Chain A
């Protein structure tokens, strides 16, 4: 799956780079012609290519930001030809694409999710397809997050429910609140640690891309492994994020 997706993206990339400017016929980049500088019709490229970047996850946000402002200025519809002209329409479209691309790439989690999406990983489908497999084989479905995390989520939710009930009747139990607070601190630490874990997978992913750029073949299995690890960490992170949110809601007003 990932292999074919990758090759289409790569193909799209070379294709676009090879495309020529509508006005002067020279080679163009994603937004402007390199030769005559005219704005170009939006090309169907991914967000990384839009910024002329390789699909790597470690990226310098400051440089990205600079590039973003530079491009927004240049793409400003008022700067690009007469009102109602084709060029103005294109610069409008390019501007909105620029905004989407920037917003996606500057956020580390969105960037990771976007890359997974480009690689053909369907985050929303994973649970359903695992269920279908379990149904077909009669085996117990492997839960996507580890069982002890599920236990933790469940237990903490029970405590939160208790806390909410107590609040309703107006009798706060300080011991319970203290326990939940303690739990919350541990969760926040875990959340932090998960981000670091994610970054270590970025590194292995980027390593693969670098090898590819150097003309080496990267086995599909290795690619998939790197992607799976990111999916796994994002799933766990989801749970923790929701838990922290629920804890904060439940604690509101107490202590």
Chain B
């Protein structure tokens, strides 16, 4: 199967590979997997507390080229968006942008899952932080 140029570009020059401190209150981490192929993807976001804007995004994916490209693109897309805006990203947007073939759709699903999971994790931290914040050191 041949990959599109955009996939190859992201694959060869993945943007935003890396990780951030998982325990930081401003960082949300999403770790997701695709049972179809056994691939895993971790995506992290750092959110500005006052504006809800995602200022930083990192990923690390162990999987196929399409999964790497999808997550790389996902980090590019979420950066600069507010959390709510980022939630509107759909896997089919990724499919279109990268011209993924039908058999690679699940790789883009993984990227959408990762965004949602990271945001979900961050939101959970915000909620639990509220009551604790008062007694924090």
Contacts and interface: CB of A to CB of B under 8 A. Distances in A.
A150 B31 CA distance: 7
Contact of A131 (B31, B37, B91): B91
Interface stretch (A39-47, A55-63, A185-193, A235-243): A235-243
Contacts of B40: 150, 153-154, 157
B105 interface: yes
Given A124-B106, A128-B106, A135-B90, A241 B38 contact: yes
A180 to B, nearest CB: 15
B116 A140 contact: yes
B51 to A, nearest CB: 21
B120 interface: yes
A149 to B, nearest CB: 8
B20 interface: no
B33 A144 contact: yes
B105 A128 contact: yes
The A interface is mostly helix, strand or loop, or mixed, namely helix
A98 B37 CA distance: 29
A73 interface: no
Contacts of B62: 153-154, 157, 161
Interface residues of B, number: 24
B95 to A, nearest CB: 11
Nearest to A152: B40
Nearest to A128: B109
A126 interface: yes
Contacts of B106: 124, 127-128
Contacts of A131: 91, 109, 112-113, 116
Contacts of A145: 33, 35
Contacts of B32: 141, 143, 150
Interface in A133-155: 134-135, 138, 140-141, 143-145, 147, 150-151, 153-154
A123 interface: yes
B33 A153 contact: yes
Contact of A123 (B33, B36, B109, B112): B36
The 7 A-B pairs at the shortest CB distance, nearest first, are namely A140-B120, A242-B38, A235-B35, A157-B62, A239-B38, A144-B35, A238-B38
11 contacts: A124-B106, A127-B34, A127-B109, A128-B106, A141-B117, A150-B33, A150-B40, A154-B40, A154-B62, A238-B37, A242-B38
